[in-house]
Structure 1
Amino acid sequence: MAKGDDGSSAASAVRWRETGAEAIMAEQCQARGEWGIVAAAAPTAALIGAEALRAGGNAYDAVVAAALAETVLLPPKCGLGGDLIALAWAPEQTAPEALLAIGGAPAGLADVAAHGAMEETGPTSIGVPAAPMGYLALAARGRLPLGDLAAPAIDLARRGFAWSRICSVLSEEARTLVAAMNPAGTVYYPGGKVIAPGTTVRLPGMARMIGELVERREGFFGGPVGNAVVARIAEAGGIVTAADLMSASADWTDAAKAQLCGMDLFVTPLPTHGASLADAVAGLDAEKAASQPEVYRHVVSAIAKRRRELSGLSGTSMVSAVDADGTMVTVIHSNSYPRFGSGIIVGDFDLILANRAGRGFSSTPGHPNFPQAGRRPATTLHAWATQKADGTRFLGATPGGANQMPWNAQTLARIGAGETHVGRLVAAPRWEWKPGDDSVIVEDGFDAQTLTDFAAAAPAVQAVDRWATRSAMQILRRSPDEGTAAAADPRTVGACVAL
């Protein structure tokens, strides 16, 4: 097997059957750029982020512009009614910083949970949305005015944009939930029907809402948006108050440090699942990391620990950027799993409210993840970073609900085994963990021995076509010798734009 164009030895790093199609895909899904790169799940968002770099912005400006665009382009997956986490690594820093913008429990949720009335969707699943504070915290480190960063998103919402296939798929999956929670109908299901891919969609309410964020900043929930949210939740039978909304915050903190095959590994701290990811890869050496069935065993063990310590498992998107100075930032923003969050929509502002509280908290009083007022729930959201001995840095993450950790573990194992080509890391075949019985779904592309080893390790193995899972991995790499590169997962139409 040939070496990658950056000199990596594919044979020592992975065990899969490389094909011409994969080599092409590995090249197509990555970008290299001297002046910066932006990756996003929505290609238009990546372009908007790159334009922020071209206008003189830094990586923080780029991710804010791209993320706000995604709140318009991918509303079933992310938005101002959800949460976000981020990792940021400046070249002069020895370790990245983590940003946690995860809303805490409403003051009245503990009583609801203690009486067994907290649900995974619907009015009692809604917590405090913290994504707006997260966008503001990122923008505060940028160079450009917030109004300039938000202008493309506002323009998309007002003028209209082409509805994506993934939004149609997620809408079909959430049709029953949204109809039950919004009997009067909603802009996302005109006439009660799922919007077809390619249809021009306009969201004037969302345009007004993003404008409110620009105008009111930290007072966002103290204005008309907050009033509308409280009224809509009360109408549906929920308990979030105006005081709850004003408690939303975004906090910069140290990343948690662990080890990956002798390298420093950094992950977002609790209540994210970064610790679970660190557990999954902690026992790997270079030889074990080259075997994906061995990685599977470590992942299942880490999941078992997570299940003991947290509550049950929990639409999510992400954007990433690296600028000319070498600062790397990755952002995961989410309306929570599975899609359309709680299912409740604030019609005046086209705002989908997340269900992070209902999915993330335990209903058992005394449990460390019980929804005491202000406590942040456990969340599958997390991001990672690592650095090799030669100074090459990687920063990455993926959306994917319960499979965020397994997919991140697979990528980190490949880095630990020696792979450095970000396109190959993203295009490589993946396996998906099934929560019900610990079985696996395995994409085509693994060699015969690996398939045999999976059959011995897992209760059941299901084969699927290549690139058939919903992984949405994005990886940034900055190398003293090879320069800057980024890759976005081809499985979910991600894109990278380089300058």
Structure 2
Amino acid sequence: MNFDPYCYQYPSRRNVVYGSKGMVATSHPLAAQAGLEILKQGGNAVDAAIATAAALTVVEPTSNGLGSDNFAIIWKDGKLHGINGSGRSPQSFDLEAFREKHWQTVPDFGWASATVPAASKTWAVLAKSMGNLPLTASMAPAISYAQDGHAVAVTTAFNWNKAFEKYRKILSGKEFASWFKTFSPAGRAPRPGERWICPDQAYTLKMIAQTDAEAFYRGEIAEKIVAFAQQTGGFYTAEDLAAVEPEWVDPISVNYRGYDVWEIPPNGQGIIVLMALNILKGFDFTHRDDPETYHKQIEAIKLAFADGFRYVADQRYSRVPVSEMISEEYGASRRELVTDKARMPEAGRPEACGTVYLCTADDDGNMVSFIQSNYAGFGSGIVIPGTGIALNNRARGFSLDPHHPNVLAPGKRPYHTIIPGFLTKDGKPVGPFGVMGAFMQPQGHVQVLMNTIDFSMNPQEALDAPRWQWIEDLVVEVEPGFPSWAAQKLQRMGHHVRCALDSNSFGRGQMILRTECGTLVGATEPRTDGCVAAW
């Protein structure tokens, strides 16, 4: 099917947003406005992405924070650049010590779940190498939100209260006391519209901005992190923090119906998107809501996840056969396994977690796809006293199987769920896209891309459309609004279909595309407090 991505003819629940000089799309209006403010001050799309990402740590702490990791794909100077801002495990992590505790998996909370965060170092590297403005300028809006306060958004308040109710029942050690002091000082989560102020985080943000993140990794903030680890049985050392360094990488891609779809290579799971698309491009699709379409999408995702869970790991420790996994030949061989019945894959359990996504574009042609996350909600439950730093629980991505390539080891990056996406055609940028939500992310990428390319939807309609997600084995969840008749047909095809009560676990995404006349068109999710800020 011939498809012009700039010729939108279909209505949606809300309209796409157009702009000509710049655009920021993300899950929170205040964060989007922060990015737009920086564009208007002379910053480029990279500066705007830093401003938005920093602001999100303040206005959406339920999904990311100063203890997060991040990844980005950047179109600049006529080419794509990738950066891997995922942290590594502390050098004192020891597989046998974990196994002696009879843990089957890495714990959900506590120091054993936290890798060394790299988010703020990534901001500093990007600002210095690709930005127009110093970090002090780009981070100023985030500092203001933390210092002067902001009104808590509806979705953020819901997730905050959900976390608080869970944490007060299960987090009782002294290492967790600072979480409650920092994020529930009134003995509860903040309510929608209530002003939230976090002076500790404001101070840490200032120190990061003024020192290009050196204070976080070698200075005053680093000292506080290491001291708290020593006091509460943590693993971090000064050497672990000083060793943090984001890695420039070459994005990987497959061609899908004339469009090049780009993802970050492993240790991220973006390769799963590419494997699924390689399987799907061998089929013809005419209707999005055809059960046959859903069935083939689900089967392709299951096959791709089976390979992803088997091979994705830190490539410094185990060679991931990237070129083989995304080859045309391998895609064709996997496609042969798709029949008219649901199949049982051998894979782990995908489930949704906490992440923020953003994308930016400027008047000079630069575009950024950026994603940042604690992993699950607030992360490990550990907050460094006096800093507002909530540490991630990314170590949950490791396997404790000594024979698995993704096995836990010192100084190693885990299997990482967060994945920024980018679309090009004939060597020219079409635009950034992303869908947050742990193992929903590859599934969301595939569905949004096919909505856009195969079914000619505009960006807003592509994001709005009801989704499915594979959970485990033959279990598939569908969100409210998914066609009931299609769900019934999937059930007859062997899928175990269950209807979700809400849309919280089906991802939250954004997209910005550049039109043929040089303007920008963007969209954000109805599943979040999202906003597209345009200039």
TM-score, structure 2 as length reference? 0.83
Residue 90 of structure 1 aligns with an amino acid whose one-letter code is: K
Q: In structure 2, what is the Cα distance between the partners aligned to 1:151 and 1:390?
A: 35
The change in CA–CA distance for 1:24 and 1:417 in structure 2 (over 3 A counts) is closer
Q: Is the 8 A contact 1:90 1:326 kept in 2?
A: yes
Residue 98 of structure 2 aligns with an amino acid whose one-letter code is: A
- Tell me the SS of whatever aligns to 2:402: coil
2:305 to 290, 303, 306: 303
Matches within 5 A, 1:96-175: 96-111=80-95, 112-116=97-101, 118-140=106-128, 141-175=130-164
Q: In structure 1, what is the Cα distance between the partners aligned to 2:467 and 2:393?
A: 28
Q: In structure 1, what is the Cα distance between the partners aligned to 2:493 and 2:364?
A: 45
Q: In structure 2, what is the Cα distance between the partners aligned to 1:422 and 1:443?
A: 20
1:180 aligns with 2:159: no
Q: In structure 2, what is the Cα distance between the partners aligned to 1:386 and 1:165?
A: 31
Q: Is the 8 A contact 1:9 1:418 kept in 2?
A: no
Question: 2:45 matched to which residue of 1?
Answer: 59
Farther-moved stretch of structure 1 (226-235 vs 35-44):
226-235
Matches within 5 A, 1:123-272: 123-140=111-128, 141-175=130-164, 176-177=166-167, 179-181=171-173, 182-183=176-177, 185-220=180-215, 221-272=217-268
- Tell me the SS of whatever aligns to 1:473: strand
Question: 2:447 matched to which residue of 1?
Answer: 410
Matches within 5 A, 1:319-338: 319-337=358-376
Shift of 1:415: 2.9
Which sections of structure 2, spanning at least 5 residues, go unmatched?
Answer: 313-347
1:359-408 alpha-carbon deviations (Å, 9 max, x no partner): 11111224211232222111111122223459561321111112111111
Question: 2:400 matched to which residue of 1?
Answer: 363
Q: Is the 8 A contact 1:114 1:365 kept in 2?
A: no
Q: In structure 2, what is the Cα distance between the partners aligned to 1:157 and 1:270?
A: 34
1:69 aligns with 2:64: no
Question: 1:498 matched to which residue of 2?
Answer: 534
Question: 1:18 matched to which residue of 2?
Answer: none
The change in CA–CA distance for 1:202 and 1:336 in structure 2 (over 3 A counts) is same
Q: Is the 8 A contact 2:349 2:472 kept in 1?
A: no
Shift of 1:91: 6.3
The change in CA–CA distance for 1:32 and 1:8 in structure 2 (over 3 A counts) is closer
TM-score, structure 1 as length reference? 0.89
Q: Is the 8 A contact 2:153 2:529 kept in 1?
A: no
Q: Is the 8 A contact 2:45 2:360 kept in 1?
A: yes
Farther-moved stretch of structure 1 (397-406 vs 423-432):
423-432
Residue 354 of structure 1 aligns with an amino acid whose one-letter code is: N
1:154-183 alpha-carbon deviations (Å, 9 max, x no partner): 111111111223333223332333642424
Q: Is the 8 A contact 2:514 2:521 kept in 1?
A: yes
1:401 aligns with 2:438: yes
- Tell me the SS of whatever aligns to 2:182: coil
Shift of 1:467: 5.8
The change in CA–CA distance for 1:458 and 1:97 in structure 2 (over 3 A counts) is farther
The change in CA–CA distance for 1:327 and 1:458 in structure 2 (over 3 A counts) is farther
Q: Is the 8 A contact 2:45 2:362 kept in 1?
A: yes
Shift of 1:293: 2.8
Shift of 1:65: 0.8
The change in CA–CA distance for 1:302 and 1:453 in structure 2 (over 3 A counts) is farther
The change in CA–CA distance for 1:390 and 1:114 in structure 2 (over 3 A counts) is closer
Q: In structure 2, what is the Cα distance between the partners aligned to 1:159 and 1:246?
A: 31
Q: Is the 8 A contact 1:31 1:487 kept in 2?
A: yes
Question: 1:346 matched to which residue of 2?
Answer: 384
Residue 216 of structure 1 aligns with an amino acid whose one-letter code is: T
Shift of 1:8: 4.6
1:78 to 54, 64, 68: 64
Q: In structure 1, what is the Cα distance between the partners aligned to 2:467 and 2:284?
A: 18
Residue 7 of structure 2 aligns with an amino acid whose one-letter code is: G
Q: In structure 1, what is the Cα distance between the partners aligned to 2:276 and 2:403?
A: 27
2:507 to 459, 465, 471: 471
* Identity value in percent: 26
Q: Is the 8 A contact 1:39 1:46 kept in 2?
A: yes
- Tell me the SS of whatever aligns to 1:85: strand
Q: Is the 8 A contact 1:106 1:241 kept in 2?
A: yes
Q: Is the 8 A contact 1:37 1:498 kept in 2?
A: yes
- Tell me the SS of whatever aligns to 2:475: coil
Residue 271 of structure 1 aligns with an amino acid whose one-letter code is: N
Question: 1:376 matched to which residue of 2?
Answer: 413
Q: Is the 8 A contact 2:39 2:45 kept in 1?
A: yes
Farther-moved stretch of structure 1 (360-369 vs 287-296):
287-296
Farther-moved stretch of structure 1 (434-443 vs 321-330):
434-443
Farther-moved stretch of structure 1 (135-144 vs 328-337):
135-144
Shift of 1:428: 1.6
Farther-moved stretch of structure 1 (124-133 vs 384-393):
384-393
1:444-473 alpha-carbon deviations (Å, 9 max, x no partner): 15484x334432445322345786654211
Shift of 1:32: 1.1
Matches within 5 A, 1:417-428: 417-419=454-456, 421-428=458-465
2:272 to 272, 276, 285: 276
The change in CA–CA distance for 1:84 and 1:468 in structure 2 (over 3 A counts) is closer
Q: Is the 8 A contact 1:46 1:495 kept in 2?
A: yes
Shift of 1:437: 5.0
Q: In structure 2, what is the Cα distance between the partners aligned to 1:9 and 1:292?
A: 23
Q: Is the 8 A contact 1:61 1:139 kept in 2?
A: yes
RMSD (CA atoms): 2.5
1:287 aligns with 2:284: yes
Question: 1:20 matched to which residue of 2?
Answer: none
- Tell me the SS of whatever aligns to 1:46: helix
1:105-148 alpha-carbon deviations (Å, 9 max, x no partner): 11111343353464232111111110111111222211112111
The change in CA–CA distance for 1:76 and 1:203 in structure 2 (over 3 A counts) is same
Q: Is the 8 A contact 1:439 1:458 kept in 2?
A: no
Shift of 1:414: 2.1
Residue 308 of structure 1 aligns with an amino acid whose one-letter code is: R
- Tell me the SS of whatever aligns to 1:439: strand
1:199-231 alpha-carbon deviations (Å, 9 max, x no partner): 211100001101110122242321221111122
Residue 361 of structure 1 aligns with an amino acid whose one-letter code is: F
Q: Is the 8 A contact 1:430 1:469 kept in 2?
A: no
- Tell me the SS of whatever aligns to 2:533: strand
The total of aligned residue pairs comes to: 478
Q: Is the 8 A contact 1:438 1:458 kept in 2?
A: no
- Tell me the SS of whatever aligns to 1:192: coil
